[in-house]
Amino acid sequence: MDPAAIAGLCALLARGQVNGPLPEGVTCPAVAVSPMLPTTPQFDVGLGRAIAAPGARDGIARVAYAEAGNQGDSGLAGVVYTILNRLQDGRWGSSIDAVLNARSQFEPVMRAGGDWRSLPPVSAAAQARIDTILNLALEGRLPDLTHGARYFQNPVIVAGRARAGQVSAGLVNFGGAAPSAVIGAHSFYAETGRGGGPGRAGGVGGRLAQPDTIFVGENRVGPASAGDNGPAAEDQPQGPPTTSLVAPSGDPSRALFVSRDGRVKSGEP
């Protein structure tokens, strides 16, 4: 048999399109079986539409880089999944815009005046990284590294200040909640706990009441511009301020605490 015909027959065999035995004298290489990749349930169509809304991917990229621009791809994916999980949850709004601009939630957005659009745009390469994470997540090809997290913090800084008596020990790990994942400097939580244990049901409709301090962590917003190797820079708030802003100290060990009423304080809740 002609070598080209043999190659074509073997290709059909590899795709499972050949029934019956091969012709006498024809031998095809064994078909390599690809290992199963870990998958996650695909998000619903509504979430896909939300991510396709004008500005949604831009907003996710700006916030992800402001929060975890120096935490690598896994750290970025953790923040992206936290945003997507919050959108799926519904407590923070029904659009990416609403989730990112929800009051007292994402510290860089609060420092920028409450609107993610005030954060500096990321580079084309950085946007491509976030787009890849989003695309793989929507296709069910990128597992949720946070295991359903809706919150995150830098617990090392919080614990250090608690030991020094500068903050309540109850702020560490959001009231003693067990992290669902630890990625770089951030710990992620599916829910928050109060009083030294895992999150308990409460609030309206059995949902957990949101803690007084939503984000606790390192001030990652400094004068550097956004890009591939660092977090986004701080923008000056536009319009009348809705929060009490704290100028960046340049000291990465200084924690920032954002309260539900919109106040941003450095060093103490």
pLDDT of residue 112: 95
**Lowest mean per-residue pLDDT among 23-27, 36-40, 128-132:** 36-40
DSSP sequence for 139-157: TT-S--TTSS--EEE-HHH
| Distance separating alpha carbons of residues 108 and 134, to the nearest angstrom | 21
Mean pLDDT (whole number) for 36-51? 66
pLDDT of residue 226: 40
Residue boundaries of the structural domains of the chain: 1-33, 45-266
Each residue's pLDDT tens digit, 52-64: 999 999 999 999 9
Mean pLDDT (whole number) for 222-249? 33
pLDDT of residue 170: 82
Each residue's pLDDT tens digit, 148-191: 999 998 888 778 878 888 778 887 787 888 889 999 988 999 98
Could you give the percent of the chain with pLDDT greater than 70? 59
**Residue 182 — φ and ψ, nearest 5°?**
-125, 120
Residue 35, class by beta-carbon neighbours within 10 Å (0-12 exposed, 13-18 middle, 19+ buried)? exposed
Task: Name the pLDDT band for 200 (thresholds 50, 70, 90).
Answer: very low
